[in-house]
Amino acid sequence: MKLASLRGPGRDGTLVVVRRDGAVFTPAPAEFPTMQAALDRWDESEPRLRDLASRLERGEIPGEPLDPQKLAPPLPRAYEWVDGSAYINHIILVRKARGAEPPETLRTDPLVYQGGSSVLLGPREDIVLHDARWGLDFEAEICVILGDVPLGTKKEDAHRHVRLLCLANDVTLRNLVPGELAKGFGFFQSKPATAFSPFAVTPDELGASFRDGRVHLKLVSTYNGALIGDPEAGPEMHFSFFDLVEHITKTRAFGAGTILGSGTVSNVDRARGISCLAERRMIETIDEGAPKTPFMKPGDTIAIEMRGEDGLDIFGRIEQKVVSP
């Protein structure tokens, strides 16, 4: 099942069920006007939404043409946006880029940070760059959207709490990171609003590609019209989404609608390219002594997407342009 949120009329948008090909939608039942409402009562909403999805697929409901420009992120605002950093290759490269050592617990203790979630960006919203010196970068990621998750959830049980998956562009202001991390409290100003894919889909939409808490498909990033990365998202995700759920629930519970990110998808094999400019700049530094790829500037575009084994565009494309204020 494929879900999306149209912008308006309220702050939480309007929940719609989308046909697998992404071309048409039908509104969700009135009892579940928003994605958050559906997640709050998933036991009731899921069968109703699945029924609509089946009828839409079979052509029993004609559906209305979907205009991606009118989409909000699946959750226009969320009660929690927690982002992991589960790809070891990314951690090593990015820390090297800022002259920092990887933490000693690199392979045993997941890195996560708490992101801001009251203002999130839709899949076609511009990224406004207020100061070019901030060093604007994209980060292509996969996310799960969780139901209620109790404190102390073990990784073996984590799959029960995964309601949906989507993609994210975890926009980062690289030049604000070192100063911020030096203060010891983690990212804040260096993480402006995050953008999300058009669609959030139930795990069964990925079939066997979603297994062991990992998505075994390529995450494709296109920068200024050229392919810049298509890493395999599965094998090198050192901590699976299930590991991350166990980690984050050690000392507290999470409410329905929590978004949990994988961190930037990254492969050791350089032929797979990159999912953020910081990695490319570090590779250039290693090979040539200095970075030559600049950070993003007004006019630049970034697209992020993922296709299933059957070639179908699963989440729709994130397509954003950098603009001046």
Let me know: does 228 contact 222? Beta carbons within 8 Å. Answer: yes
Compare residues 36 and 267 and give the one whose CB is closer to its own copies.
36
**Does 68 engage in binding with its own copies (CB under 8 A)?**
no
Among the listed ranges 42-50, 100-108, 212-220, 271-279, the one in contact with its own copies (CB under 8 A) is 100-108
> Cβ of 93: how many Cβ atoms within 10 Å?
24
C-alpha dist (Å) from residue 123 to 60, 95, 215, 305 = 28, 29, 20, 11
- Which x/- pattern, by CB under 8 A, does the window 151-180 give for its own copies? xx--------------------x--x--x-
* Interface pick for its own copies out of 5, 14, 45, 85 (rule CB under 8 A): 85
Among the listed ranges 64-72, 75-83, 154-162, 196-204, the one in contact with its own copies (CB under 8 A) is 75-83
Output the smallest distance, CB 103 to its own copies, in A: 4
Compare residues 49 and 256 and give the one whose CB is closer to its own copies.
256
**Does 134 engage in binding with its own copies (CB under 8 A)?**
yes
**Does 92 engage in binding with its own copies (CB under 8 A)?**
no
* Interface pick for its own copies out of 61, 92, 132, 181 (rule CB under 8 A): 181
Q: Amino acid identity of 253? A: A
**Does 323 engage in binding with its own copies (CB under 8 A)?**
no
139 contacts: CB under 8 Å, gap ≥ 6: 168, 169, 170, 171, 172, 263, 264, 275, 276
**Does 247 engage in binding with its own copies (CB under 8 A)?**
yes
Vertex 51: Cα angle to 46 and 57 (nearest 5): 120
Output the smallest distance, CB 22 to its own copies, in A: 28
Output the smallest distance, CB 24 to its own copies, in A: 30
Compare residues 112 and 215 and give the one whose CB is closer to its own copies.
112
Output the smallest distance, CB 244 to its own copies, in A: 11
**Does 108 engage in binding with its own copies (CB under 8 A)?**
no
Angle, to 10 degrees, between the axis of helix 88-97 and the axis of helix 277-288? 60
**Does 253 engage in binding with its own copies (CB under 8 A)?**
yes
**Does 77 engage in binding with its own copies (CB under 8 A)?**
yes
Output the smallest distance, CB 186 to its own copies, in A: 2
Site for its own copies in 183-212 (CB under 8 A): 183-193
Among the listed ranges 55-63, 110-118, 291-299, 310-318, the one in contact with its own copies (CB under 8 A) is 110-118
Size of the site for its own copies (CB under 8 A): 55
- Chain position carrying tokens 């950093």: 85
Output the smallest distance, CB 263 to its own copies, in A: 11
Chain contacts with its own copies (rule: CB under 8 A) = 10-11, 40, 77-80, 82, 85, 100, 103-105, 109, 111-119, 128, 130, 134, 151-152, 173, 176, 179, 181-193, 247-248, 250-258
